[in-house]
Structure 1
Amino acid sequence: MSSIHSHELQSVGSRQSSATPRFADAEMEPESSNAEIDMRSLPPTDHGKQAYLVLAGCTLIQAPVWGYSISFGVFQKFYTTHKGTEGSPGAVATVGTTLNGLMYLMMPLTFTLLTKYPRLRPYTGPAGLFITVASLIMSSYATQVWQLIASQGVLCAIGSGLLFSPTTLYLDEWFIARKGMAYGTMWAGKSAAGVVMPFIMSALLDKYGPRTTLQAWAVSLVVLTAPLLFYLKPRIPLSSSHTQRPLSWSFLKRSGFWMLEIGNVVQAFGYLLPTTYLASYANDLGLPSISGAVLIAVVALANVPGSLFSGYLGDRLQPTTVILISSIGSTVAVLLFWGLAAQMALLVIFAAAYGFFAGGFSSTYSGILKEMKRADEGVETGLVMGLLLGGRGVGFMAAGPVSAVLLKGGERMIEHVKWGYDTQYGPVIICTGATALFGSWGWMWKMLKAALA
């Protein structure tokens, strides 16, 4: 009996005792003859019209979920160069890192609750949309940095996180053997939104200012998201009589998981720093105002093939190997191209290389899920995914205040700008390169363990 076929039998049989199936492949026997009858009535996993439609929906919804956060570098530059919302680059950067950090940091909680109580999923998305829209409208009237942190940083993160969580769990349910491809495509959708959004936001900010721009985006969120929330559905209908399911946390006892998680947190610490500061960096070099949006868009554009490539490798290679490829490529891009860049050409090369390699890091999660599942068939991959995303949140949250300190220290280093290391962003560049390298800590630990064995 194949792994996928057996998984379907177990998933359907478990409907008698839980509201939704396990989120990864496992070799299980059917609980009863009724399970096979039910299995035949379900749409197939990994292939078929309905699976691909869900994948398309999960990919498209990445634009509403992440559209503002991945464009924050443009707002960062606007807030620090225009009157109306006063604040230093480091202080304003805390808004973006709080937004991204908190959004990820809440994932362990939301993924756990929605895995244990799957009947909450249909209500989570609309609640998230309401909170996100309200936060953007509130932030459009902000005049102080703390108000931006509260609205754009905290409330927007909560709303976007509630939008993201249920749709990701739906995708995990529809794709089993081709999970890497599915997650790679979903993250590519996020990146594709980043290609367009910085230009749109930059144009709107220059013409209308932040108030109208934020209010227009709030309206657009409703138009883009409401149809998708109505359409996205689980593969197996929720039980009408059972409201919760048991959870297995056995993977927390495995050192391999924690080594991968440590690398995940370290990589996240420096991951957002380039896109947060690239627009301001280009502005300080005296480049045209559109340069910042172009660079952020190049990073996002390179994320698309990078996410697909890492997802493809994740279905075929060990996760530590894929992570190593991402980490080495990112490190070279930062320390070589950004560190030496004082003109637009090298910055574009950096943005493309960094976007491709660093942008594919999250797509390696599919391989980690499979690795945990191979070690223990009872593991809920939704819980593993939630903790991995939460680890990114820890890194993002720490990055904001630390980067502000690095910028302050770097101001004393400026004499003659010949390359990136000469600017106040020199410490940020070094920090980003180091964290990119040690994002492969899971691979390093694996090699060290093998050498000492």
Structure 2
Amino acid sequence: MAYPTVHEERELSRVLESTHHDQEEGSEDPIQRPQTLPPADHGRAAYLALACCTIAQAPIWGYSVSFGIFQEYYSDPMHGIDASPGAIATVGSMQMGIMYLMMPVIFMILNKYPHLRRWCGPAGLLITMASLSASAFVNTIVGLIATQGALYSIGCGLLFSPISLYMDEWFIQRKGLAYGIMWSGKSSVGVAMPFVFSSLLRRFGLRATILSWTIASAIMILPTLFFLSPRIPLSSTTRSRPLSFAFLRHTSFWMMQIGIIIQSLGYLMPSTYLASYASAIGLSSVTGPILLALFSTASVPGSLVHGWLGDKLSATKVILLSSFGSALPVFLLWGLGHQLSTMVVFVVLYGFFAGGFSSTWSSMLHEIKREDGAAESSLIFGLLLGGRGLGYILGGPISGSLLSIKGAIAEEPLGYATKYGPMILCTGITAVMGAWAPLWKGARIVSKEGLTTCSHLFTTD
């Protein structure tokens, strides 16, 4: 027999307390709540929830992770978008940036008013379909920013939020692996979609491509909205739940948040500009989709491995592995080479380590909850997602500014010598600084040891 964890006991107590309160108030439509929760981490219901959450990543992220193909398409003057590459890149960064940035607010609302979760998915689907359909008929950068950049990200955010909350309920001891599998679903869709979008754009044009993806997204998301259910029964009342924000007083949370923001500044730059970079250094037009597909392919095992390690190792070790593992290929391969073979090795290594960075968040959650056991892990997760969104939003304009810097960093025909040189350096530096929390912790230890040594010397004298 599997005994409930502390988290399960707390949630079960909340459910029973809510039931008792509903009965005391004389609710006309009380819900008969079970006295025990279905098992977490194992069982048919948990695996069904994981499958639904993983499949849902395709319509939520499929367009965003392939935006590099549309970046190249929109940048072509023949297609009627009169805007700079930096302005077009802002659309791609907003797709993920706004979606992530709105997560703290949505997670806070859905934690405080759980009965609203059932409406998020349908509302998100309607907004997503409407915004994508509208974007097929605009031909200005302002229209793209409004439809694909703002409204589309809001719709996807409403789709993603309840999914993440349900994942937090269904997986407790194996949360890292579960999130790794879920994030690998996001990466998997990036394997095929660059080729699909590239082929559709060449054969049918922009409007047919976007409209067909809108229909495909609806077909994929509807079954998940039907089968995905919460593990903890939702209350039928609108009474709000008290939320604890005591974890915001702990320095460790803010150090991890800073690392996420900095890493996110440069994370999207390679995938956004890979197709344009390949064209700039003289590679064939099919090279861009191949590199994007390889990046997403490598991100799949990267997410799984980093998620699995997050359940086994400390947050410090997993974050350092992801950060330095992704920085080295940027500095040594992308910056120092310009041949196809070098670029292939770069995107594979960078995709594995940088693509697994999101899966390290489960280990961050464990570390934060060790300092504050009463903290809601889903609320912490929402705030971490918000930090990623802030980095994405800032990354778009920053990448455009870096591309406008004149002059070469090196005389040799290397990546550094192209106009992408400053952006390559920025990507590598932000990858290193993704390990801000471990680096901060290491600096504190060194500082304390230095003070102890000095104190000991003075005492001895």
Q: How does 1:66-77 map to 2 (within 5 A)?
A: 66-77=61-72
Answering whether residue 434 of structure 2 is matched by residue 439 of structure 1, we say yes
| C-alpha displacement of 1:339 | 0.5
| C-alpha displacement of 1:243 | 3.5
* Equivalent in the alignment of 2:214: 218
Answering whether residue 279 of structure 2 is matched by residue 298 of structure 1, we say no
Which residue type is aligned with residue 144 of structure 2?
A: L
Which residue type is aligned with residue 170 of structure 2?
A: W
| C-alpha displacement of 1:129 | 0.8
* Equivalent in the alignment of 1:343: 339
Match of 2:235 among 227, 233, 239: 239
Unmatched runs of 5 consecutive residues or more in structure 2: 20-31, 449-461
| C-alpha displacement of 1:42 | 2.8
TM-score where L is the length of structure 2 = 0.91
| C-alpha displacement of 1:83 | 2.3
Write the distance in 1 (CA, Å) between the matches of 2:34 and 2:122. 30
* Equivalent in the alignment of 2:388: 392
Answering whether residue 83 of structure 2 is matched by residue 87 of structure 1, we say yes
Write the distance in 2 (CA, Å) between the matches of 1:189 and 1:312. 15
Q: How does 1:294-373 map to 2 (within 5 A)?
A: 294-373=290-369
| C-alpha displacement of 1:250 | 0.5
Post-superposition CA distance 1:181-236 (Å, at most 9, x none):
11111001100111111111111111111111011111111111111111111002
Post-superposition CA distance 1:9-58 (Å, at most 9, x none):
33222113449xxxxxxxxxxxxxxxxx9776432001111101100110
Q: SS where residue 369 of structure 2 aligns? A: helix
Which residue type is aligned with residue 7 of structure 1?
A: H
Q: Note if contact 1:18-1:245 (Cα within 8 Å) is conserved in structure 2.
A: no
Post-superposition CA distance 1:328-380 (Å, at most 9, x none):
01110111111122111111111000000000100011011111212111100
Rg bigger for which structure?
2
Q: SS where residue 409 of structure 1 aligns? A: coil
* Equivalent in the alignment of 1:153: 149
Write the distance in 2 (CA, Å) between the matches of 1:41 and 1:265. 39
Q: Note if contact 1:342-1:417 (Cα within 8 Å) is conserved in structure 2.
A: no
Q: Note if contact 1:314-1:364 (Cα within 8 Å) is conserved in structure 2.
A: yes
After superposition, the Cα gap between the structure-2 partners of 1:6 and 1:440, relative to the gap in structure 1 and judged at 3 Å, is closer
Q: SS where residue 432 of structure 2 aligns? A: helix
Write the distance in 1 (CA, Å) between the matches of 2:423 and 2:130. 33
* Equivalent in the alignment of 1:16: 16
**Deviates most, 10-19 or 168-177:** 10-19
**Deviates most, 40-49 or 380-389:** 40-49
Match of 2:138 among 124, 139, 142: 142
| C-alpha displacement of 1:138 | 0.9
Q: Note if contact 2:33-2:233 (Cα within 8 Å) is conserved in structure 1.
A: no
Match of 2:58 among 56, 63, 76: 63
Q: SS where residue 137 of structure 2 aligns? A: coil
Answering whether residue 268 of structure 2 is matched by residue 272 of structure 1, we say yes
Answering whether residue 444 of structure 2 is matched by residue 449 of structure 1, we say yes
| C-alpha displacement of 1:6 | 4.0
Which residue type is aligned with residue 344 of structure 1?
A: L
| C-alpha displacement of 1:147 | 1.0
* Equivalent in the alignment of 2:183: 187
Identical pairs, percent: 52
| C-alpha displacement of 1:88 | 2.0
| C-alpha displacement of 1:415 | 9.1
Which residue type is aligned with residue 118 of structure 1?
A: P
Which residue type is aligned with residue 328 of structure 1?
A: F
Q: Note if contact 1:273-1:432 (Cα within 8 Å) is conserved in structure 2.
A: yes
Q: Note if contact 1:69-1:96 (Cα within 8 Å) is conserved in structure 2.
A: yes
Write the distance in 1 (CA, Å) between the matches of 2:186 and 2:253. 26
* Equivalent in the alignment of 1:26: none
After superposition, the Cα gap between the structure-2 partners of 1:45 and 1:400, relative to the gap in structure 1 and judged at 3 Å, is same
* Equivalent in the alignment of 1:33: none
Which residue type is aligned with residue 287 of structure 2?
A: S
Q: Note if contact 2:405-2:419 (Cα within 8 Å) is conserved in structure 1.
A: yes
* Equivalent in the alignment of 2:413: 418
Q: Note if contact 2:410-2:416 (Cα within 8 Å) is conserved in structure 1.
A: no
Q: Note if contact 1:17-1:245 (Cα within 8 Å) is conserved in structure 2.
A: no
Write the distance in 2 (CA, Å) between the matches of 1:365 and 1:206. 39
Post-superposition CA distance 1:411-447 (Å, at most 9, x none):
x338977110111000000000000001101001101
After superposition, the Cα gap between the structure-2 partners of 1:414 and 1:248, relative to the gap in structure 1 and judged at 3 Å, is closer
Which residue type is aligned with residue 71 of structure 2?
A: Q
Q: How does 1:395-406 map to 2 (within 5 A)?
A: 395-406=391-402
Post-superposition CA distance 1:248-269 (Å, at most 9, x none):
0011000011111111100000
Which residue type is aligned with residue 310 of structure 1?
A: H
Unmatched runs of 5 consecutive residues or more in structure 1: 20-36
Write the distance in 1 (CA, Å) between the matches of 2:84 and 2:409. 18
Write the distance in 2 (CA, Å) between the matches of 1:279 and 1:267. 21
| C-alpha displacement of 1:2 | 8.4
Answering whether residue 43 of structure 2 is matched by residue 48 of structure 1, we say yes
Which residue type is aligned with residue 64 of structure 1?
A: P
Q: Note if contact 2:176-2:310 (Cα within 8 Å) is conserved in structure 1.
A: yes
Post-superposition CA distance 1:294-353 (Å, at most 9, x none):
111111000001001110110011112111100101110111111122111111111000
Q: Note if contact 1:114-1:120 (Cα within 8 Å) is conserved in structure 2.
A: yes
Write the distance in 2 (CA, Å) between the matches of 1:131 and 1:242. 24
Match of 2:105 among 109, 115, 121: 109
Write the distance in 2 (CA, Å) between the matches of 1:83 and 1:416. 35
Post-superposition CA distance 1:256-285 (Å, at most 9, x none):
111111111000000000000000000112
Which residue type is aligned with residue 230 of structure 1?
A: F
Q: Note if contact 2:114-2:235 (Cα within 8 Å) is conserved in structure 1.
A: no
Q: Note if contact 1:42-1:235 (Cα within 8 Å) is conserved in structure 2.
A: yes
Write the distance in 2 (CA, Å) between the matches of 1:297 and 1:155. 26
Answering whether residue 417 of structure 2 is matched by residue 430 of structure 1, we say no
* Equivalent in the alignment of 2:172: 176
Post-superposition CA distance 1:390-417 (Å, at most 9, x none):
001111111111111110104x338977
Q: SS where residue 43 of structure 1 aligns? A: coil
Which residue type is aligned with residue 13 of structure 1?
A: S
Write the distance in 2 (CA, Å) between the matches of 1:18 and 1:358. 42
| C-alpha displacement of 1:107 | 0.7
